[in-house]
Amino acid sequence: MKKQVIFTIGSPAAIGPYSQAVKVGNFTFTSGQLPIDPVTGEIVHGDIKKATVQCIENLKAIAEAAGCTLDDVVKATVYLKDMGQFSQMNEVYASYFTSHQPARVCVEAKIAKDADVEIEAIIAKDADVETEATKRRNCI
């Protein structure tokens, strides 16, 4: 399969020797997105909700650059500086993933740039999503 590097100005440029995302076939693998405003280059500190919004907006820009949407996310990994902020992060996260909740893991970690949160995702374009609810409807 062909590998394609994904880049968008809608998300901050990589701060090291890596890509914002790499697309292989129908899958796009994003690098972890810090809460960095792509316009100003400033990192959001001290407000986990605003930081989570910025991380997900960065992921959204990458998904769109790959021809996808957040609905195509199949797996997310969330890194939190302080697991005590989980419920606040989760409230924002849930507002972005309303009709399709991807698989997810959340871990406490020391994050680059002393950020409060970092989120990475695996995105699958044209993946058939079947929930338990649709399975039940299809069996009737």
With beta carbons less than 8 A apart as the criterion, state whether 28 and 68 touch. Answer: yes
What DSSP letter does each residue of 70-87 carry, written as one string?
GGGEEEEEEEES-GGGHH
Distance of alpha carbon 90 from alpha carbon 121, whole angstroms: 15
User: Considering 55, 68, 106, 139, which one is annotated as catalytic?
Assistant: 106
Distance of alpha carbon 82 from alpha carbon 98, whole angstroms: 24
Closest CA to 87 of 60, 113, 117: 117
Is 55 an active-site residue?
Answer: no
Cβ neighbour number for residue 67 with a 10 Å cutoff: 13
Q: Which residues are catalytic?
A: 106
